[in-house]
Amino acid sequence: MKVDSQPKGLVFSVDRNVVDDGPGIRTTVFLKGCPLRCVWCHSPQSQSKEQQLLFIENRCIACGACVESCPKDAQEISGTARRILWERCDDCGECARVCPPMALEMAGEWMTVEQIVDVVRRDAVYYKNTGGGVTFSGGEALAQPEFLTACLERCKQEGINTAVDTSGFAQWSVLERILPHTDLFLYDLKQMDSRKHEEMSGVGNAIILENLKRIDGRGRAVWVRVPLIPGYNDSIENLRQVAEFTKTLRNVEKVSLLPCNGAAGAKYSFVGRQYGLKDLLEYTKKEKTDFLKIFSSVGLAAEVGR
Ligand code: SF4
Ligand code: SF4
């Protein structure tokens, strides 16, 4: 059944054949816009709720077309020097339209619910064979509640398993709307101390913890995901508190610890920003084992993911 008057959503990527965002083979739809500002965020282009210029410098052939097209004089080429004056740019997208090698691109495309469903159902046979489905992520998927609800509802009408990957930072009324159409929540637990949570993400954790308790109370399946950020939330004390809180929930099917890697740093240059984390070291095998022991000590089988 086609929906005539559909809300549109700002989407920055639709990835097919994903294996890390829920059970089986999945399609992950990334919605643009997020109320958090996590210091380790691996997709800085996801944060703004507007379309946004990206500059992938190694594709640039210095043709000068962007300089001619920019109404804000935000593009500069001088000899071999090439730069964007980001403070002048208003993300109008004129330069991206004329850039031959697509060194300039706009992040974010307005899509209808049916456009999303059309892409998602292409892999229906894989979902069926692997227990997969669709995952809505971000940014923060809950930040576009009307579009998200409509997409989830339509996917369920198609018989597709649905998951929402979220920070949990939203009004309960938003979660309540999507609950009937969501099979699984992938839910971040970053830091149990609200003040430290605010330091690392820009928001406190009270609403996040409360929402998780309420989702759990409604019997929805949850996979808890703990990003491990060196010096921010990987202390024994914090991980023990995360483990103890998680242990009080009844519908957690999986707990994953996800070490932050520095690969995201390069993406910050695409949007004219600098990555806040430097010189990230990989955790040793012993450190990972010690993290897992904290969870096993309260009776939880956690895993270290990618
Ligand atoms: S239009 Fe594209 S390729 Fe040409 S100078 Fe600008 S960014 Fe580089
Ligand atoms: S997106 Fe920014 S840099 Fe590009 S034309 Fe518009 S104002 Fe100029």
Q: What is the CATH number of the domain that holds 80?
A: 3.30.70.20
Give a yes or no: residue 1 inside a domain: no
What's the CA-to-centroid distance between 101 and ligand 1, angstroms?
Answer: 7
Q: Which two tokens stand for residue 53?
A: 């210029």
Q: Which of 85, 106, 127 is the last residue of a domain?
A: 106
102 Cβ below 6 A of ligand 1: no
Q: Are residues 140 and 240 in the same domain?
A: yes
CA of 74 to the centre of ligand 1 (A): 12
Rounded CA separation 44/110 (Å) = 18
Q: Would 2 be classed as within a structural domain?
A: no
Cα–chain center distance at 132: 19
Q: Taking every pair of C-alpha atoms in the chain, what is the biggest distance, in angstroms?
A: 63
Measured from the Cβ of residue 67, the count of other Cβ atoms closer than 10 Å reads: 17
Q: Which residue range forms the structural domain that includes residue 89?
A: 52-106
Residue nearest to atom 6 of ligand 2 (CA): 92
Neighbour count for residue 180 (Cβ, 10 Å): 12
CB-count burial class (<10 Å; 0-12, 13-18, 19+) for 184: buried
Report which protein residue has its CA nearest ligand 2's atom 2: 89
The CA distance from 203 to 35, in Å, is 8
Same domain, 161 and 212: yes
Do 27 and 64 fall within a single domain? no
For residues 138 and 66, what is the distance between their CA atoms, to the nearest angstrom?
A: 29
Ligand nearest to the CA of 55: 1
Residues 121 and 253 in one domain: yes
Ligand (nearest to CA of 65): 1
Choose which residue among 53, 63, 78, 82 to substitute to test ligand 1 binding: the one with the highest number of ligand atoms within 8 A of its C-beta. Answer: 63
Rounded Cα distance, 278 and 184, in Å = 34
What is the pTM for the complete model shown?
0.94
Tell me the ligand closest to 94's alpha carbon.
2
In a shared domain, residues 122 and 146: yes
Nearest alpha carbon to residue 9 among 154, 129, 123? 154
241 lies in a domain?
yes
Specify if 189 maps to a domain: yes
Please enumerate in sequence order all residues whose Cβ is within 8 A of that of 55, keeping only pairs 6 or more positions apart, or say none.
84, 103, 104, 269, 270, 271, 272
- Asked whether residue 207 falls in the same domain as residue 89, the answer is no
| Ligand 2 center to 96 CA (angstroms) | 8
Shared domain check, 152 and 114: yes
CB 46 within 8 A of CB 139: yes
As for how many domains the chain has, the answer is 2
61 and 143, same domain (yes or no): no
> At what angle are helices 236-247 and 285-296 packed, to 10 degrees?
40
Strands 26-31 and 8-18: antiparallel
Interval 212-259: pLDDT, tens: 999 999 999 999 999 999 999 999 999 999 999 999 999 999 999 999
Q: Is the CB of 90 under 6 A from ligand 2?
A: yes
- 217 shares a domain with 137: yes
Instruction: Using the 3D structure, point to which of 91, 106, 121 is the last residue of a domain.
Output: 106
Which atom of ligand 2 sits closest to the CA of residue 93? 1
Q: Whose CA is nearest to atom 7 of ligand 2?
A: 89
Residue 264 belongs to some domain of the structure: yes
Q: Tell me if 80 is assigned to some domain.
A: yes
Residue whose Cα lies nearest atom 5 of ligand 2: it is 70
Same domain, 222 and 89: no
- Binding site membership of 89 for ligand 2 (Cβ less than 6 Å): yes
Length of the chain: 306
CATH code assigned at 218: 3.20.20.70
With a 6 Å cutoff on the Cβ, whether 62 touches ligand 1 is yes
C-alpha 251/C-alpha 246 separation (Å) is: 10
Determine, yes or no, domain membership for 27: yes
Ligand 1 neighbour 61 (Cβ under 6 A): yes
pLDDT in tens, the chain (306 residues): 444 567 899 999 999 999 999 999 999 999 999 999 999 898 999 999 999 999 999 999 999 999 999 999 999 999 888 999 999 999 999 999 999 999 999 999 999 999 999 999 999 999 999 999 999 999 999 999 999 999 999 999 999 999 999 999 999 999 999 999 999 999 999 999 999 999 999 999 999 999 999 999 999 999 999 999 999 999 999 999 999 999 999 999 999 999 987 777 888 999 999 988 877 888 999 999 999 999 999 999 999 987
**For residue 139, how far is its CA from the centre of ligand 1 (angstroms)?**
28
Whether residues 118 and 90 share a domain: the answer is no
Write down the H helix ranges in 135-171. Answer: 145-157
Cβ atoms 162, 120 nearer than 8 A = no
Query: Of 82, 106, 130, which marks where a domain is finished?
Result: 106
Q: Which residues contact 248 (CB under 8 A, 6 or more apart)?
A: none
Say which DSSP state 219 is in: T
Nearest CA to ligand 1 atom 5: 62
Nearest protein CA to atom 6 of ligand 1, as residue: 66
Q: Are residues 225 and 251 in the same domain?
A: yes
